[in-house]
Amino acid sequence: MATEKAYKLLALQKGISNNKAKELIDKGLVYVGDQKVKIARAEIADDTKFRVEKLEDIKVIFEDDYILAINKPAFMDSYDVQDNIFGATLLHRLDRETSGILLFGKDEAWTAKAIEAFRQRQVEKEYVAWVEGVVYEEKDIDMPISTHKHNGKAFSKVDPNKGKPARTRIKPLEIQGKKSKIDIEIGTGRTHQIRVHLAHIGHPVVGDEFYGSRTKSKRILLHAKRIAILGYDLEAPEPADIQKYK
């Protein structure tokens, strides 16, 4: 059977450039049946039919002279969002597959205060996720995290010796079969903190194969629900895949 590199075959089928095809695969938007295509250069049968998921639109949650809050769709990089917003400064970031509230500063003096508030941990951040297993009770996870780079990708782990302080609080909201929907509050903002902490206690986020989830999902089922900063208290509506599992 003849084969071709996945990105070249996708480009041919969709009438797009090779670079655009690679980008779609790297963003996790390309599927064969229910299986995500993960490696753009993988050899694949040349009669393979691809399905490309569409990104949802960026929606504005709130805007005034100082702040812009948007509901970031899953599969969109925070910096790609920034490139589409003129005259505003990105205040923090979300992982590409994480949906939810993303803040931009519009006024220079206010933005400086907001950046300092993030640095001083004076920001309340609340998430919601579906996780593996049954979560029965509230739990505080206070475990240091260290972050490393490998092949240009960040990887974090619980590291009692060299890690930086990290605190996560979880509360069960709903149980479906052997999956739980939980509310999450974080007191720190370490790289992949929520994902690492939940994996460490045996409840990785559904779809997070990188940190141990065994459940196939279109994305990591994590949503940044709420942020409170400098007198603002803003919330991003849950997308359909977070509102109800399956």
Structural domain span for residue 95: 59-243
Residue-level length of the chain:
246
Task: Answer yes or no: do 128 and 17 share one domain.
Answer: no
Which of 15, 34, 52 corresponds to the end of one domain? 52
Tell me the CB-side half-sphere exposure of residue 58, using CA atoms within 13 A: 18
Alpha helices, DSSP H, located in the chain:
6-14, 18-26, 78-83, 108-119, 193-200, 240-243
Task: Answer yes or no: do 18 and 90 share one domain.
Answer: no
Whole-number pLDDT of residue 181: 97
Which of 11, 36, 52 corresponds to the end of one domain? 52
Whole-number pLDDT of residue 245: 75
Task: Answer yes or no: do 44 and 72 share one domain.
Answer: no
Percent of the chain whose predicted confidence (pLDDT) is above 90: 57
Per-residue pLDDT band at 184 (split at 50, 70, 90): very high
Task: Answer yes or no: do 123 and 235 share one domain.
Answer: yes
CA atoms of 72 and 80, how far apart (whole Å): 10
Task: Answer yes or no: do 47 and 70 share one domain.
Answer: no
Neighbours of 81 (CB within 10 A): 18
Task: Answer yes or no: do 149 and 65 share one domain.
Answer: yes
Task: Answer yes or no: do 83 and 125 share one domain.
Answer: yes
**For residue 20, what is the domain's CATH number?**
3.10.290.10
Per-residue pLDDT band at 47 (split at 50, 70, 90): confident
Long-range contacts of 238-245 (CB under 8 A, 24+ apart): 238/128, 239/56, 239/73, 239/74, 239/99, 242/99, 242/128, 242/129, 242/130, 242/181, 245/130, 245/176, 245/179, 245/181, 245/206, 245/221
Number of domains, the chain: 2
Task: Answer yes or no: do 214 and 142 share one domain.
Answer: yes
Q: Strand pairing partners for 31?
A: 36, 51
Give the residue numbers marked as catalytic: 95
* Maximum C-alpha span of the chain: 62
Residues 26-52 have a mean pLDDT of 81
Task: Answer yes or no: do 138 and 161 share one domain.
Answer: yes
Percent of the chain whose predicted confidence (pLDDT) is above 70: 99
pTM flag (> 0.85): no
Residues 11-22 pLDDT 10s: 888 888 888 888
Whether the per-residue pLDDT at 4 is higher than 90: the answer is no
Task: Answer yes or no: do 73 and 164 share one domain.
Answer: yes
